[in-house]
Amino acid sequence: MKIARLISIIMVLLEHRKLSATKLAEMFEVTPRTIYRDIETINLAGIPIISYPGINGGISIMEEYKIEKKIFTISDITELLIGLGSVHSLLPSEEIINTIAKVKGLVPVEQIKDIESKSNQIDIDHTSWFENKTTKLYVQKIKIAIRENKFISFNYFDRVGNKSQKKIEPYKLFFKNSNWFLHGYCTTREDFSIFRLSHMSSLELLNEKFSSREFDYQSIQESLWTGREIIRIKLLIDESIKDLMIEFCGKENVEPFKNNKFIAYLPFVEDDYWYSILLHFGNKCECLEPENIRLEVIRRLEDTLAIYKKASSKGLSHLGKYGRK
């Protein structure tokens, strides 16, 4: 995890006068290029890093900042522990537990109880109320594959339900909109692509290794929408879901209407995932525009209603002996 590595780099540099990027890369099992990006991030966070050129050169934290290890204030350490706890809820591992212990090690013994009390006042838990053990297992396997440059294979169901077999070079896991995604190189398509873990089955970690390709991390957001048109739909929503809708489309896209109603403008992609979000709001939300989205919502509701009407008319007898308790 990047946050754990950044904290560890800071702690290593606190303990050493100077280390080369190559040495740091070996310690953390990443490339020197990654170390330089991490150093830039640490610099931006306000911790001054000095780079010394030449054979005996290296990387160091400015000496004035190293005195008595007082880089972090009590407030800083509290925020670090809250952040690490959030990461641990998604990726429970010994490494993160060890990092949390190291961060606590920066705190004087007489202040540790106060720090723990403050950090426990905020609990950021990204996991679902109903744990998906398969996804959790896949995340662990993919982490190993990324670390060891190993191929993975899995069956994949696309947005319209088509099934295919994939062999992937995995490069980055990320969590977005309450879902895990993998950015990897597909050997069949011979191109990078985004894969949603909930659409995978029969995932296997292969013994075969691959050589890492150049990978632009900044392209991830764009890749999510490659070939998918984003449109703006107009919704009439009830006041009870206003705050929830603001989370989806931003405060600037939700405006008062009348009779405790609001108009919301939601970025939308025409696929099952986004239609399921609209239907999730139930009778608290009505799609006003465009007409084709409104009609598709009506069609999906009518199809669902037809299933229930059919079942009711037959008294669930079509389900056989397992249809009732």
Q: Where are the alpha helices (DSSP H) in 149-290?
A: 220-224, 242-249, 272-280
Ranges of beta strands (E only) in the chain are: 49-52, 58-61, 150-157, 163-176, 179-186, 191-196, 200-209, 231-238, 254-256, 261-268, 285-289
Residue 39 CA, chain-centre distance (Å), reads: 23
Q: What is the pLDDT of residue 145?
A: 92
Q: Quick one: pLDDT band at residue 94, thresholds 50, 70, 90?
A: low
Q: With a cut of 90, say whether residue 322 has pLDDT above it.
A: no
CA 324 to chain centre: 40
The residue ranking higher by pLDDT, 81 or 88, is 81
Give the mean model confidence (pLDDT) for residues 299-306: 90
Tokens of 55: 């054979």
> Could you tell me if 307 and 272 are in contact, meaning their C-beta atoms sit under 8 angstroms apart?
no
pLDDT computed for residue 245 by the predictor: 84
Residue 321, amino acid: K
Say if residue 117's pLDDT is above 70.
no
Share of the chain above pLDDT 90, in %: 16
Mean pLDDT of the chain: 77
With a pLDDT cut of 70, the percent of the chain lying above it is: 66
pLDDT, residue 97, reads 65
Nearest Cα to Cα of residue 17 among 77, 57, 70, 71:
57
- In the CATH scheme, what architecture does the domain 2-119 have? Orthogonal Bundle (1.10)
Q: What is the pLDDT of residue 324?
A: 47
Helices 21-28, 32-44: inter-axial angle, 10-degree rounding: 100
User: CA 196 → CA 19, 21, 48, 146, 273, distances in Å?
Assistant: 39, 34, 38, 16, 11
Summarize the confidence of residues 84-99 as an average pLDDT: 61
Cβ(216)–Cβ(199) under 8 Å?
A: no
The CATH architecture annotation of domain 231-311 reads 2-Layer Sandwich (3.30)
Hey, which of 24-28, 132-136, 221-225, 238-242 has the most confident mean pLDDT? Answer: 238-242
> Both tokens of residue 93?
């591992």
Q: What is the pLDDT of residue 85?
A: 63
Query: What integer pLDDT is reported at residue 325 of this predicted model?
Result: 46
Q: Is the pTM of this model over 0.85?
A: no
Over residues 94-121, the mean pLDDT reads 62
Separation of alpha carbons 216 and 238, rounded Å: 41
- Residue 51 φ/ψ, nearest 5 degrees: -105, 130
Every domain of the chain and the residues it spans: 2-119, 133-224, 231-311
Using an 8 Å Cβ cutoff, are 66 and 17 in contact? no
The radius of gyration computed from the CA coordinates of the chain, to the nearest angstrom, equals 25
pLDDT of residue 67: 42
Predicted local distance difference test score (pLDDT) of residue 319: 54
**Comparing 23-37, 80-94, 193-207, 288-302, which segment has the lowest mean pLDDT?**
80-94
Task: List pLDDT tens digits, range 43-54.
Answer: 877 778 888 877
- Domains 2-119 and 133-224 equal at CATH topology level: no
Indicate the pLDDT class of residue 209, thresholds 50, 70 and 90.
very high
pLDDT tens per residue across span 233-290:
999 999 988 888 887 777 888 999 988 899 999 888 887 778 888 888 888 999 999 9
Give the CATH fold of the 133-224 domain: SH3 type barrels. (2.30.30)
Residue 183 has pLDDT above 80, yes or no: yes
Tell me what pLDDT residue 177 has: 64
